[in-house]
Structure formats: C-alpha cells, structure tokens
Structure 1
Amino acid sequence: MNIIQNFKNIKDELSSLGYNPKIVAVSKTFSIDHIRPLIEFGHRIFGENKVQEAQKKWTKIKQDISDIELHLIGSLQRNKADDAVKLFDYIHSLDSEKLVTALIKSEKKLNLKRKYFIQINIGGEIQKSGIDSNNLLDLLKFIDGQLDVVGLMCIPPFDQDPENHFKNLKSLADENNLSMLSMGMTADYVKACKYNANYIRVGSKIFGARK
C-alpha cells in the first residue's frame, strides 16, 4: 500500500472540488513504522483515539519533531486530563462540565494551553459521546473563556445521510460565534467540506484497513 499516494489522492480530490481543509490523519491502532512515511513526506497533523496508545507512539516523536500537531479525537476520561494536556495540541471531545473543570485544572497545573472542540451528539444517539445541541450555550457559559474553545465536532449516525447533520453543526457553530468545524471521516469528508469543515478526520483511506 502506498500511503503517500493515498494521501496525495485525497488532497487532489479536495483541491479539484475547491476545498482545502486540514487533514487529521487518524493513526489509531497503526504502528509508528506504518505512519512514519507520511511524517517523512512532511504531513504533521495526526489523530489518536486513546491517550495511552498515543503516549507510547508519539511522546518521543513530538520531542524530535516540534511541529507535529496531535489531535485527540476519542472520548476523554477525567483521570486522563493531565496526560492529554501534556501530549495533545487539540482535544475534540469536550462534552461535560466535569471534564471542563478537570482540563482547566490540568492546564493551570502544567502551565499549558490547548485548543478544544465541543463534541455535539448531532444525531441524539444514546451510545455516543457528546452533548445535546440544546445544552451547548450552557456549557459555553460554564467554560466562560477558561478554555480555548475553537469550534464544534460531530460524528453523524452511520445509518443516515450525514449532510443534514453537517449543515446543522455549521448552523450551531455560526449561532455561537465558533469558527471551526471538525467533521467528516473517510466515507463522508467531501460532504462535510460542502459545509465548511476545517478539519476532516481520515484514517483507513490513507493507512489502509485496520486489523
């Protein structure tokens, strides 16, 4: 599998459609040796689902390559807040007042500032993380500028056309003066770009199927 060619194909496809989102190369479950060709090619934005796995893979690389931008795209437990703030530049899964409180403490303790997306449970799915869109304003008031919230993130239901969900997330961001959208994965990133996705999260289309 030619990872570099896969990546170029995605860039070319997006460019041909007039889109230029940042691509979070989702490297969860893949070894660093599998990922390394893309790093050597010059790509710098990567996503991981789990703090512990990311620590093992990325701690040294981030020390050696200072402009690597690491994104946590999976849910975050409060007891991992310190570890997440140490390692990740962006956290896409802000979804509760308790997690907000933990992250504020971690940032102060470590003297670090990170960027955050609030995860919206856009399809109202019981099994998914994220807050109900009706609770967004309350969470933003609770945060009150204490964390650098840059935008919203969503994962639409797998069994529905995602387009309306992307449209709704964009409207929600606009209503709350949030400029960034993290939405769109391998199967639907083109549709997400139609609604101004700033970050798309692509894994298998770059790195191949996960085992």
Structure 2
Amino acid sequence: MHDSIKNLNIIKEQINTKESNVNIIAVSKTFPMSNIEPLLISGHMHFGENKVQEAIEKWTEIRKIKKNFKLHMIGKLQTNKVKFAIPLFDYIHSVDNWKLAQKISQEQEKLKKYLKIFIQVNIGNEDQKSGINKKDLSIFCKKCINELNLKIIGLMCIPPQNEDPKKYFKIMLDLNKSLGFEELSMGMSSDYVDAVKHGATFIRVGSKIFGERS
C-alpha cells in the first residue's frame, strides 16, 4: 500500500469519517502526479491546489479521463486567473473580496458552470491576511448570493499562527450557523482534529498525507 493511502487511512480513523460528515481535501500542491495517482486510483474524492497554473498543468489531462473526483482551489485566486480556474475546479475556498466575487460571477455565467464557493474570513483580523472581516460578513454573503448568483456553501478560515486555533474554530462555527451555511472549510495538517471537533466539514491536509514538501 502506498504511503499516501496509509496516511489518509490514519487521518480517517483519527477523525472517524464513518461517524462524522468530513471531507478530506488532499492538498497536492507542489507534488507531482506520480504522488497523487495512488490516491486517485484508490477512489479518493477531494484534491486541493493553491495555484491555478500548476493545477492546469497537472490536472487538465486527467480531467478528460477521470470524472469522479473534485478539485478545490484553496489558495489566493487572482482576478486575472478566474477564467482559467472556472473550467478546471469544482470548489473555490478563497473568495476574499468583492472584485473577485464579481469576476467569478461573470465567468460562471459565460461558461454556465457554477462552482461551490466558500467565503474566506479574516478571523484573526490580521493585516497580512486576506479575507472578509467578521463585521462585514453577513452583508458580503447576501450580496454574493442575491446580486451575483454565487453558490455560497460556507465559510473558510486560516487561524493566526502561534495561537490556539480552537478559539477561532468556535467563532467560525458560530458564524457559519448564524448565516445558515451547511459546510465549513477549516483545519490543516497541524490542527485538523480540533477543526473537526468544531464542526469542520472540509479539512485541507497536505503534508500529513503526502509527506513534507522538499
């Protein structure tokens, strides 16, 4: 059995995927397709990429052959890359400003392909991080849904480093519930267990599946 499959099985046991409704996104950024294929062949469903260009190079051909997987854009999405992202991806986790939301809406209408979208929340109010501020969140989400016809399914966050993420996961769960969303994208290799305990339905795990990036 390939290491990545073993690692994935360990994570599934840890978070008890039989009991919980958690989707594990295998974050395959920087890893070649030779590392990813064992998971694809085993039937793993969700994969995440950070950069549109890298995703195009890796996934375009496989998309033509295999249909039964979902590709997630989890990194920062530039507006000039949206037209390339829409055809390839199924989910976007990082809508963090109005201009980007507008661009996604325009491109989706052109292609008549509507992705599932998470709104990125700047949960720690950090200057260096993108995302929507908590106080602006409700209005932003309503505008995305009502004015842009975006399929918003939940919120996403990256908690501040060097702080206990549990506090932020709790806030995210409450925010998500208050807005009536079903899905919640939070938790990475270092904190996915806590994220799941706080209601995450999508966790984004890279190094714990594929190993450390060289």
Of the structure 1 ranges 60-69 and 115-124, higher mean CA displacement relative to structure 2 is found in 60-69
For residue 203 of structure 1, what is the aligned residue in structure 2?
A: 206
Is 1:173 aligned to residue 193 of structure 2? no
Gap regions ≥5 residues in structure 2: none
Distance in 1 between the 2:145 and 2:17 partners? 40
Give the fraction of aligned pairs with identical amino acids, expressed as a percent. Answer: 47
Q: TM-score, normalised by structure 2?
A: 0.95
Distance in 2 between the 1:154 and 1:45 partners? 18
User: Given the superposition, is the C-alpha separation of residues 37 and 189 from structure 1 closer, same or farther in structure 2, using an over 3 Å criterion?
Assistant: same
Of the structure 1 ranges 139-148 and 55-64, higher mean CA displacement relative to structure 2 is found in 139-148
Distance in 2 between the 1:18 and 1:67 partners? 23
Q: TM-score, normalised by structure 1?
A: 0.96
Q: How many residues are aligned here?
A: 211
Gap regions ≥5 residues in structure 1: none
Distance in 2 between the 1:57 and 1:28 partners? 10
For residue 196 of structure 2, what is the aligned residue in structure 1?
A: 193
Distance in 2 between the 1:122 and 1:40 partners? 36
Conservation of the 8 A alpha-carbon contact between 1:26 and 1:48: yes
Alpha-carbon shift at residue 35 of structure 1 (Å): 0.9
Conservation of the 8 A alpha-carbon contact between 2:119 and 2:141: no
Of the structure 1 ranges 140-149 and 126-135, higher mean CA displacement relative to structure 2 is found in 140-149
Q: Give secondary structure in 1 for the equivalent of 2:137.
A: helix
For residue 79 of structure 1, what is the aligned residue in structure 2?
A: 80
Alpha-carbon shift at residue 16 of structure 1 (Å): 8.3
CA RMSD of aligned residues (A): 1.4
For residue 134 of structure 2, what is the aligned residue in structure 1?
A: 133
- The equivalences for 1:30-41 within 5 A come to 30-41=31-42
Structure 1 stretches of 4+ moved >4 Å:
none
Alpha-carbon shift at residue 118 of structure 1 (Å): 0.1
Distance in 2 between the 1:16 and 1:143 partners? 31
Is 1:23 aligned to residue 28 of structure 2? no
Conservation of the 8 A alpha-carbon contact between 1:47 and 1:73: yes
User: Given the superposition, is the C-alpha separation of residues 40 and 16 from structure 1 closer, same or farther in structure 2, using an over 3 Å criterion?
Assistant: closer
